[in-house]
Amino acid sequence: MTSTDKQRLIIIGNGMVGHHLVEQLVERDATTRYDITVFGEERHLAYDRVHLSEYFAGRDAQSLALSTSDYYAENDIALRLDEAVTAIDRDNSEIVTPLGRYPYDQLVLATGSYPFVPPIQGGDRPNCLVYRTLDDLDAIREAGRNANTGVVVGGGLLGLEAANALKGLDLDTAVVEFAPRLMPMQVDSEGGELLREKIEALGVQALTDRATQRIEDGEASYHRMVFQDDKVLETDLIVFSAGIRPRDELARDCALEMGERGGVVIDDHCLTSDPAILAVGEVALWNDSIFGLVGPGYQMAKAAADTLTNGSERFQGADMSTKLKLLGVDVGAIGDAHGDRTPGARMYRYLDEIKQEYRKLVVSSDGKKLVGAMLVGDNSYYDTLMQYYSNGLELPDDPASLILPSSEGAPTLGPDALPDTATICSCHNVTKGAVCDTLDAGATDLGAVKAETKASTGCGGCAALLKSVVDHELEARGVEVDQSICEHFAYTRQELYSIVQVEGIKTFSELLEKHGQGLGCDICKPAVASILASCFNEPITDAAHVPLQDTNDTFMANMQKNGTYSVVPRVPGGEITPDKLIVLGEVAKKYQLYTKITGGQRVDLFGAQLHDLPDIWQALIDAGFETGHAYGKATRTVKSCVGNTWCRYGVQDSVGMSQQIEHRYKGLRSPHKLKFAVSGCTRECAEAQSKDVGVIATEHGWNLYVCGNGGMRPRHAELFATDLDDETLFKYIDRFLMFYIRTADRLQRTSVWRENLEGGLDYLKEVIIEDSLGIAEELEQQMQTVIDTYECEWANALSDPEKLKRFRSFVNDERPDPDIIMTSERGQLRPA
């Protein structure tokens, strides 16, 4: 087909949904049928609005971009950015921009939405901004330079995202919400109150049930907000994030059929009232509904692409369930979370005011089906509840068990329990059935399934579930699942560990010669380096081991985004003397390092150049500091409260115990980083139940918790043993850690290892406490070897001139790196 034979397809809008439509058209070879032109109103290429707040955390427009201009060029798609479409001339089948008129045969509206600004007197004053685009964020950042306080009008999803952005600018932040609670669409009154408590604990003031009447000049700040009850709030900066409205003016002006409250009406094929015009995303009104999430927009894009290429895909609505982390707080809403759309719905609620967790189930009147759920504070229950909801699975006899805490943690559904209709990847709407079809068509590994279905290539949140489904289905088909660590070793990490330990192999080259092939890679080298360090504890900077390390371990410092490094000395148990604090301050001042207190009760120094690291560490070691291993998969920190030394509630010396633990296990290398905590009483100020190893004081000794973690996928630690004396406590921790190191996969945290452990917590207790495998003494001896051979890695490197030669920005020059440019912010230097 020649270019003159092709139809002209114009897409108005280059946001997330507009770009996804382009991808769908390319996938269907639509460029052989259409000459495609995309108009984008913004100067930026399509970018990820879901992670927009990360723009304030250092990400730039390029890193947020969903594609490149080369992608459009390579697929013969014309991309016209910074060119807004001002009108659609349906009579002549043309669109109009300030630069001219462009004819079309087919047209797609993907214009999205705009932020709603309530009609408030004074709402158009300077420093009254909105939160929607990268340019909006640039304006907020610029206004924030001369501001001390900021207010977000709107306490919904986008409002809390905006509040997080203002917090990131170091502004005293408040959220003003018209409704009686935050996130009124997602949570009920109980969940809203808990959400308020958690957010206010993070330093963001939450003012609910407040209607702003006017904005005027302030006395102490630039603005004064006056509410309906005449109460006032002064602030320097106001960001409106009170909801969205469809960008439907083009459709309205050319007389397409519109909804009463806006939005261009579409059918199941995403066609508007004009068969030559389609609409997708937040501008489109389907069945009287606007869908304000990217997932439904992607489904519309897929249906529209099929409509344009004579496919069969139709848009039949979308689920608005959401799993969010706002200001670090988990919030989840599934289906009819309020129960107001289900006649006879029954509710189950669980509230833990100490741990600040709230969960609610909404079930059908017969108690057999889950119709909705609500989570605040812990989203680890979300995936399982979502499978019950989306697949109509019959609930257990006691539905409340799905939200009640247990020693097994949040409930899970195995791959065999999921029906073929179960959604595995919501980003690309991939079901278990689609995965099975791909395997039946000849795919034999996870990579092939990803390539064919696109599963786990979006946000990546389904990666673990996808792998378990693929492995399970391959095994069910009689295919042996290769668990090899990589192409160079036909062994699992656990098998390699056993080989190293039994044969006493101390170098990668010997292991490769005897049991591997090739030269090794970025997967097996760090994994073997970790195994060797766990078994023999030789310095990672020794000549035989250095080639195995990644950048951070090579230079014993975490590389930062501008090529500088962090310096993190150990502060056992968070206890530090004034003299040592002074040394840290002097070092930071001398080398102009950014200084921050961490959540693990240490002091991080950022911005060190490579050639300065030895001098910095020499000063710190001379003052009595040691490396804190912040760069390694090793013991990191042991957090503690002040215990009975100072606290009137403390029943044991938590600081003393935390120091014993940290000194005992410092330098211990493992499959993943290890974090500990010790609390002096059950008030749990050290948050021990969110750590790999948590210790909580009792009147009679110590309670031991294991296999918890915070981070991207939080998991509560489980109670392992109670009222232990010091000796037994250390014995159990020794055995637990070495058993984990011996049996875990590479880069597997204790929480994930525990979830995959056959027999669960009971089996772990049998091995560690009852010595069911007869290896307890061996595990203790292995740990004692690590303890006895401990050596500060930086002290070792400083004593060896050969090791210090690698600390240069240039091999043949001792100059600092001229490309490292810093700027000042809040009195400290940060990357420019």
Binding annotation for [4Fe-4S] cluster: 641, 647, 681, 685
711-747: buried (b, 16+ CB within 10 Å) or exposed (e) per residue? eeebbbbbebbeebeeeebbbbbbbbbbbbbbbbbbe
Task: For residue 278, give Cα distances in angstroms to 246, 267, 286, 474, 661.
Answer: 15, 9, 12, 41, 64
Question: Could you tell me the sign of the dihedral formed by the alpha carbons of 126, 131, 133, 135, in that order?
Answer: positive
Binding residues for siroheme: 685
589 burial via Cβ count (<10 Å: 0-12, 13-18, 19+): exposed
Dist CA 591 CA 209 (whole Å) = 50
Dist CA 62 CA 68 (whole Å) = 9
Q: Is there a contact between 270 and 25 (Cβ–Cβ < 8 Å)?
A: no
- Element at 721 (helix H, strand E): strand 718-724
Dist CA 517 CA 368 (whole Å) = 55
Q: Is there a contact between 108 and 250 (Cβ–Cβ < 8 Å)?
A: no
Name the token pair of 529: 């380096």
Dist CA 113 CA 244 (whole Å) = 6
The one-character DSSP state at 65 is B
The one-character DSSP state at 321 is -
Q: Is there a contact between 525 and 548 (Cβ–Cβ < 8 Å)?
A: yes
Binding residues: 641, 647, 681, 685
Name the token pair of 501: 């330990």
Which SS3 state, helix, strand or coil, does residue 388 take? helix
Give phi and psi for 565, each to the nearest 5.
Answer: -130, 160
Dist CA 177 CA 167 (whole Å) = 17
Q: Is there a contact between 330 and 198 (Cβ–Cβ < 8 Å)?
A: no
For 811, residues 6+ apart whose C-beta sits below 8 A from its C-beta are none
Dist CA 333 CA 368 (whole Å) = 19
126 burial via Cβ count (<10 Å: 0-12, 13-18, 19+): exposed
Task: For residue 509, give Cα distances in angstroms to 302, 505, 515.
Answer: 50, 9, 10
Q: Is there a contact between 546 and 540 (Cβ–Cβ < 8 Å)?
A: yes
Dist CA 746 CA 522 (whole Å) = 12
Q: Residue 259 carries which side chain, given as an amino acid letter?
A: G
The one-character DSSP state at 569 is B
Dist CA 357 CA 376 (whole Å) = 6
- Element at 351 (helix H, strand E): strand 346-352
Torsion of CA 251, 253, 254, 256, to 10 degrees: 50
CB atoms near residue 756 (< 10 Å): 14
- Element at 298 (helix H, strand E): helix 294-308
Name the token pair of 69: 């201009």
Angle ∠(200,206,210) on CA atoms, nearest 5: 165
Task: For residue 545, give Cα distances in angstroms to 496, 517, 760, 796.
Answer: 17, 18, 35, 14
Q: Is there a contact between 270 and 315 (Cβ–Cβ < 8 Å)?
A: yes
Closest by alpha carbon to 719, among 706, 702, 730?
706
Dist CA 6 CA 164 (whole Å) = 48
Name the token pair of 623: 């003052």
> What is the spatial order of strands in the sheet that 149-153 belongs to?
128-130, 237-240, 149-153, 172-176, 204-207
